[in-house]
Amino acid sequence: MRGLTTALALTTALFTAPLALAADTARFNWLDYQGADPSDAVVKAKPGEYRNPILTGYYPDPSITRVGDDYYLVNSTFSWFPGIPIFHSRDLVNWTQIGNAIDRPDQLDFKALGLSRGVFAPAIDYHDGTFYILNTCVDCGGNFIITAKDPKGPWSNPIWLPDLEGGIDPSIYFEGDRAWIVNNGPPEGEPLYQGHRAIWVQELDLKSMKTIGPRKVLVNGGVDISKKPIWIEGPHIFKKDGYYYLICAEGGTAINHSQVVLRGPGPMGPFTPNPANPILTQRDLDPARPFSVTSAGHADFVVTPKGEWWASFLAIRPYGDDLYNTGRETFLMPVRWVDGWPRITEPGQAIPLTHAKPDLPAQPDAKVPTTGAFQVRDEFEGDRLPPYWMMARNPKGDWYRLSDGALTLKLQPVGLSDHGNPAFWARRQQHHNATIITDMVFTPDQAGERAGLAAVQSDESWIRFTIEKEGGQLVARVAARAGKEMPTDGTVLGSVPVKEAASYRLRITARGGEYDFDVAGAGADWQPVVKGADGTILSTKKAGGFIGVMVGLFAQGPGEGK
């Protein structure tokens, strides 16, 4: 495995507010993440090959663009902050996060939204010296554009697109000094069935940044409405050999997900479906096959300087019957052109876990690994966290400080179920099998004070592993919530008494659908707290939503708060 100590700078000054050390704080000296998947022991990339997925863990809805020799990629982050990561690469294989497009609390307000609301499916593009991201803030403003001269940021405040009301997944197509926005939206008239949507197009005036002219439906329902296709979405328009192509996801984001393509004489259509659709899917494969990849779709295309076409798209690697805790991940595959139509997979073709690299200049491995088995250790050096750390919703209050080689959290009266902004900084669980360890200095004074680790899939589905006080006794305790019907403070899965120590090491070990929890005082051996806890409660299949598990550092004090 590759090791790493990192302290990349977040492109925002979130950590400059002072926070006095006090009894109601927890100090975390480091966090170590180590992960691997069962396929890593069998599937090996040969020289000249890359590993799929290229971004493991919760990196859904990828959109990609090229500027000269540089490639940029963005993903959905929903109600996590900072949001919309910006990745950079020069070989389409090794990716480095260079910032977050939503990194100021005044850009968007996620309020008390569920963690799978917020920013859906961003689309990134570049035109005439400016980068554009089109996006939807679901239940928090609607569709918008943000711009930047440098993809690292700063990105502008949102420019809202009210004509796209009710729609999601906007993207932009440029031609000369004109531009068109294409997006998913409700169909004309009443929907004919559940999941009946449409793809719309409208011109955008680049000077006023307002939509102009008529809105037009390009696709009603899907490529064949007689079959009642659901959730036509994620549209992108591009031009090749005189044709305008429209690519879209179809079939929903579960196992029937796919990618389809249509073409026409102009950006306003009319568009005719490819008779060989879909051009990407895994729904026609045996779900029980070894190391399966499922639910593939939501693609975006990019062309290299040598004319190679490549597609980034999302897919899922389950550990069981459509069970996965890592969320939807970013994959890469070449695009072939056959009789004037693009194709990513042939019918019945499995998405490969290794593939020959693009014909691009060789680049060094990314300093922060994003694929395969790896280890990342955060020592909390400097004054800013790496950009892959996120919190639930917009920051409220001065509850964190990064200084003196540690991350200090102030206990907040906000729990993991409160739809608020708990004292919780987290990073993605990126493997089915993962070990997360931290070293924490914390002594609770009273019942209700707790600090430690948490693994969160949603406000209703999480596992908490903390040091607490009960009846005057210090305990290490594991509690979980598995659905809205469960108590908001969770149900205790297990506790063990611990001696007061200068610091505590807490360890979470994920093994597919099971999680282990161990504790050790300073200089002491590991002591089991809970073994084989049901981790499937953190799977998307059971918890719902669109994200993957976020695991990190948590602190809570008594009281109620939002």
So which residues are the catalytic ones?
A: 61, 233
Q: Which residues pair with 238 in a beta bridge?
A: 245
d(CA 383, CA 106): 21
Closest to 13 in 3D by CA, of 104, 146, 110, 109: 104
Q: How far apart are CA 110 and CA 84, in angstroms?
A: 13
8 A C-beta contact, residue 337 and residue 360: no
Handedness of CA 92, 97, 99, 100 (dihedral sign): positive
The one-letter amino acid code at 261 reads V
Asked whether the beta carbons of 551 and 456 are under 8 A apart, the reply is yes
- Tokens in use for 149? 């001269």
Give the angle subtended at the CA of 380 by the CAs of 376 and 384, to the nearest 5°: 110
Angstrom distance (rounded) from CA 549 to CA 544: 12
Give the whole-angstrom CA distance, residue 185 versus residue 299.
Answer: 18
How far apart are the C-alpha atoms of 513 and 323, rounded to whole Å? Answer: 8
Ranges assigned E (strand) in 280-405: 280-281, 294-303, 309-316, 329-334, 336-338, 341-343, 354-356, 374-378, 391-392, 400-403
Determine the Cα–Cα distance for residues 512 and 35; give it in Å rounded to an integer. Answer: 11
3-state helix, strand, coil in the chain (%, to 5): 5, 50, 50
Structure tokens belonging to residue 459: 């406000």
Tokens of 243: 């044709």
Cα–Cα dist 60/83, whole Å:
12
Which H or E run contains 128? none
- Its sign, for the CA torsion 487, 508, 430, 454, is positive
Distance CA 478, CA 463 (A): 7
